[in-house]
Structure formats: structure tokens, C-alpha cells
């Protein structure tokens, strides 16, 4: 999605538009997500030529997130994202037609050759081997295009480095949740002697599959995935553990003590009016009054910011309800609608406030909006903990005991 020194579809000006897409994607991520962190950043290549093979989870929003980690990456992108002017405001790259897009695929071979040229010039190319996204329990089947591209580049004498990336969201569709990008070990490019062209393709695809599975998490069923995501979130509470490391520890199965503790806690919660944050019932760790006092500060701040910016927030929510056909595109629709409308709304509010009340009030509006955005994630957690601590205070100790069971039974890397 990022322009380089090649003519990219959707970005005819090349380097002239590079800053636009970088700023646009940065704003999308900073507005929608509470935080994006990188696991094993030391594995990132210092420069090209690099082929990044990346897992696809949350629609085109994955590209925005990966762009924060690989700012000079050029994406192999679906033509459907470039059909109109509006799409080209957010997306650019080397376009290919997928089978499901009902598009003319005659230019796909030329697009792959263009990727090789980018790599030969020392560039960085980003490819989604799955071809499409899913938030399901396991990755989708990997296509052979990325392996073909890697072998073509190597055949042209490119000193290629292949790096796998995975992305994991606490709640991919939720506004102001957290995300983690995982950088895997570089994939070996040397091939055994005597392999046929088909054998080389199969071997490279096997290596890519294994590397992507190392930076991803696969579960047998959607129910197992949902349980693991809740438990992984529990493991991050009050600790420095990464969400991905907790998920990965749960991939082989949930430890027996954790299963028993989780089941017992669910039974004790029963029909009680317990609130949850990202599927997990939260309770105060310290004094309840301290949590309530902090919520009394952050709550009105968040509420005021939401009310002052209600139209774009409401429009983004309605757009996702109307157009999203799966959880993996909810965030995309909210961003595509909410961000432009938010910009227009902010410009209108800024002009009105500056004209009516002066620049000091305009600065106050800006600071209040930014503070409310930053406080939302914490305020939601506080609201859940304060309510549960007040209404179901007898469940606080069992919840804390279960939290400790999770920490004790998941190996800390």
C-alpha cells in the first residue's frame, strides 16, 4: 500500500504520494487502536531487498497496522481496493486480481515481475499468501504466489531476505483495542541440489507455511479460539507478558488447572450481573475507592469527548452495521467512514469554535478530543471493575485467584 520508485496502480505519482499514505495509515491506526506493539523487533531487516510474507486477519486494516512496522513496504494488493477514487485515497500498491474478485487477471504475471524489479532495486515487498482475511481459529490455505515470487527473485540474483509477520488483535473489531505484530525468524533461501522447479516451489511454500504458523496461532475450533483469547487477555493483566506469547502458550491446549479454574469461575459467576471487558470479568486489584475515583475523572472526560464528536462516531458505527459482512471487516468500514467524516467534523467544529469562542476554546476542544480517545480503553476497564467490585464484591477474591492460576500455568518466555 506504499508507493516506491515504481509506477503503482492507485498511486501514479509514486514518491510524491508516499508521505500521504504513510500519514493516512498512521492516523488510521492511532485513531482506531489503543496501541500497536511489535514482538521481536530485532528480527526486522535493516533494509532491502526483503520479501515480507504476512498473515491476513482483519481485512485491509492489517495493511495499515503492518505499515507501522514496515513503513517502506510495497503491498501486493487486490484490484478491488482500487476500483474507485475513494479507495485509492486509502490504498495503493502493485495490483493483482484474485479469483474471487471477478476481475481480469491477465496483468497478474506482469505484477509479479514488477515485484521482482522492486526487490532487485533493494525494495521491500509485502505479500499476503492467504489472499484474503479471516478472524477464524486457523489460517486460511496459503497460495503459491509468494513462493513463486521469492524463487523468481532468487533466480534473478537478488540477495533476498524473507521475513514472516503475524498480527494479533485483542478484539479486532472493537474500537480502541490493542494489536501486536510478531516478527518471525528469517526464512532460509538456500535450496537442496537436484530439486526440480516444482520441488523448489513446494519446498519454499513449505518453509513459508511453517514460518507463518510460528508467528500465528491455530486452534481446532472457534470455541477453543474464543476461550484462548479470553485467557490470553487474562494473562496480560497486571503483567508484562505479550498477548501473542500467551496465545501461543495456549495453542497446544489449555492447562488442566486453568481449565478447572476457568470452569469454576464461570459457574460462580452464574447468573450474576457481572460486566466483562473483552470477554473477561474484571475486579479491582487495589482499593475500590481508588478505582472509582479514577473512573470519576476519566469517565466524564470520555463522555464529553464522545458527545462533542458524536456524528462521526455514530456514522462509523452505523456503516459497520450496514456494510460489514463479517467481523474481519468491521474495523475497515468504521475507519473508511469514520476517519473522513471525523476530519470534516473536526474542521467544521474548529472553524465554528474559533469564530465564536476564540482560539483558546479551540485548543481546549482539540485536547479534550485527544484525551478522551486516549482514556477510552482505560475507562472501559475501570467501569467494568468498579461495577463488579461494587455489585459482586464477593467474587473479587475468586477472580484474583484465577488470575494467579493463569499466570502460574502459562510459561513466561
Residue showing cell 525494495: 123
Determine the pLDDT at residue 108: 79
Q: Residue 103 — pLDDT band, cuts 50, 70, 90?
A: low
Mean pLDDT of 39-61: 94
- Is the pLDDT confidence value at 261 over 90? yes
- Is the pLDDT confidence value at 196 over 90? yes
Determine the pLDDT at residue 79: 82
Determine the pLDDT at residue 7: 36
pLDDT in tens, 210-221: 999 999 999 999
- Is the pLDDT confidence value at 3 over 90? no
Which residues face 183 on adjacent strands? 165
Mean pLDDT of 223-231: 96
Q: Residue 404 — pLDDT band, cuts 50, 70, 90?
A: very high
d(CA 215, CA 246): 13
Residue showing cell 496465545: 247
Q: Taking all residues of the chain, what is their mean pLDDT, rounded to a whole number?
A: 91
Nearest C-alpha neighbor of 332 from the set 8, 32, 41, 125: 32
Determine the pLDDT at residue 1: 33
Q: Checking DSSP bridges between strand 178-183 and strand 161-169, what pairing results, if any? A: antiparallel
CB 291 within 8 A of CB 362: no
Determine the pLDDT at residue 89: 86
Mean pLDDT of 22-33: 95
pLDDT in tens, 323-367: 999 999 999 999 999 999 999 999 999 999 988 988 889 999 999
pLDDT in tens, 117-167: 999 999 999 999 999 999 999 999 999 999 999 999 999 999 999 999 999
- Is the pLDDT confidence value at 5 over 60? no
Domains of the chain: 15-214 (3.40.1130.10), 222-279+401-409 (no CATH), 288-391 (no CATH)
d(CA 398, CA 336): 42
Mean pLDDT of 239-243: 92
Q: Residue 104 — pLDDT band, cuts 50, 70, 90?
A: low
Determine the pLDDT at residue 80: 82
Instruction: Tell me what percent of the residues of the chain surpass a pLDDT of 70.
Output: 94
- Is the pLDDT confidence value at 13 over 50? no
Helical axes 359-391 vs 288-308, angle rounded to 10°: 140
Residue showing cell 537436484: 194
d(CA 128, CA 103): 18
Q: Residue 85 — pLDDT band, cuts 50, 70, 90?
A: confident
Determine the pLDDT at residue 6: 35
Instruction: Tell me what percent of the residues of the chain surpass a pLDDT of 90.
Output: 78
Backbone φ and ψ for 17, nearest 5 degrees, come out as -100, 0
Q: Residue 110 — pLDDT band, cuts 50, 70, 90?
A: confident
Mean pLDDT of 249-259: 96
Determine the pLDDT at residue 15: 41
Nearest C-alpha neighbor of 400 from the set 383, 385, 381, 380: 385
Residue showing cell 538456500: 190
Determine the pLDDT at residue 407: 94
Q: Residue 9 — pLDDT band, cuts 50, 70, 90?
A: very low
Amino acid at each position: 500500500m506504499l508507493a516506491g520508485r515504481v509506477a503503482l496502480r492507485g498511486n501514479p505519482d509514486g514518491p510524491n504520494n508516499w508521505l500521504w499514505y504513510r500519514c493516512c495509515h498512521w492516523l488510521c491506526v492511532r485513531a482506531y487502536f489503543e496501541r500497536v506493539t511489535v514482538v521481536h523487533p530485532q528480527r526486522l531487516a535493516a533494509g532491502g531487498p526483503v520479501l515480507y510474507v504476512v498473515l491476513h486477519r482483519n481485512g485491509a486494516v492489517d495493511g495499515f497496522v503492518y505499515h507501522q512496522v514496515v513503513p517502506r513496504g510495497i503491498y501486493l494488493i487486490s484490484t478491488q481496493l482500487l476500483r474507485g477514487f475513494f479507495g485509492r485515497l486509502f490504498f495503493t500498491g502493485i495490483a493483482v486480481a484474485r479469483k474471487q474478485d471477478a476481475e481480469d487477471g491477465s496483468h497478474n504475471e506482469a505484477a509479479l515481475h514488477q515485484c521482482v524489479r522492486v526487490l532487485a532495486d533493494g525494495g521491500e515487498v509485502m505479500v499476503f499468501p492467504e489472499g484474503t482475511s479471516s478472524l477464524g481459529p486457523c489460517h486460511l490455505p496459503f497460495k503459491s504466489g509468494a513462493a513463486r515470487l521469492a524463487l523468481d527473485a532468487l533466480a534473478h540474483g537478488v540477495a533476498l531476505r524473507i521475513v514472516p509477520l503475524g498480527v494479533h488483535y485483542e478484539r479486532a473489531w472493537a474500537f480502541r483495542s490493542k494489536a501486536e505484530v510478531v516478527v518471525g525468524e528469517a526464512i532460509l533461501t538456500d535450496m537442496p541440489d537436484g530439486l526440480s522447479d516444482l520441488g523448489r516451489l513446494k519446498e519454499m511454500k513449505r518453509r513459508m507455511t511453517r514460518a507463518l504458523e510460528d508467528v500465528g496461532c491455530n486452534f481446532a475450533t472457534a470455541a477453543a479460539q474464543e476461550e484462548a483469547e479470553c485467557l490470553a487477555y487474562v494473562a496480560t493483566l497486571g503483567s508484562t507478558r505479550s498477548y501473542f506469547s500467551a496465545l501461543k502458550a495456549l495453542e497446544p491446549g489449555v492447562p488442566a488447572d486453568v481449565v478447572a479454574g476457568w470452569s469454576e469461575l464461570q459457574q460462580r459467576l452464574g447468573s450474576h450481573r457481572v460486566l466483562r471487558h473483552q470477554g473477561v470479568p474484571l475486579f479491582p486489584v487495589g482499593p475500590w475507592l481508588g478505582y472509582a475515583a479514577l473512573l470519576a475523572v476519566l469517565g466524564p472526560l470520555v463522555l464529553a469527548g464522545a458527545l462533542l464528536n458524536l456524528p462521526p462516531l455514530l456514522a462509523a458505527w452505523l456503516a459497520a452495521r450496514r456494510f460489514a459482512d463479517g467481523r474481519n471487516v468491521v474495523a475497515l468500514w468504521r475507519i473508511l467512514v469514520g476517519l473522513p467524516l471525523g476530519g470534516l467534523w473536526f474542521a467544521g467544529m474548529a472553524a465554528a469554535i474559533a469564530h465564536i469562542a476564540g482560539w483558546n476554546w479551540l485548543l481546549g476542544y482539540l485536547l479534550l478530543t485527544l484525551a478522551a480517545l486516549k482514556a477510552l480503553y482505560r475507562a472501559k476497564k475501570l467501569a467494568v471493575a468498579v461495577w463488579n467490585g461494587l455489585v459482586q464484591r464477593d467474587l473479587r477474591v475468586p477472580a484474583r485467584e484465577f488470575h494467579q492460576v493463569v499466570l502460574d500455568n502459562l510459561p513466561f518466555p
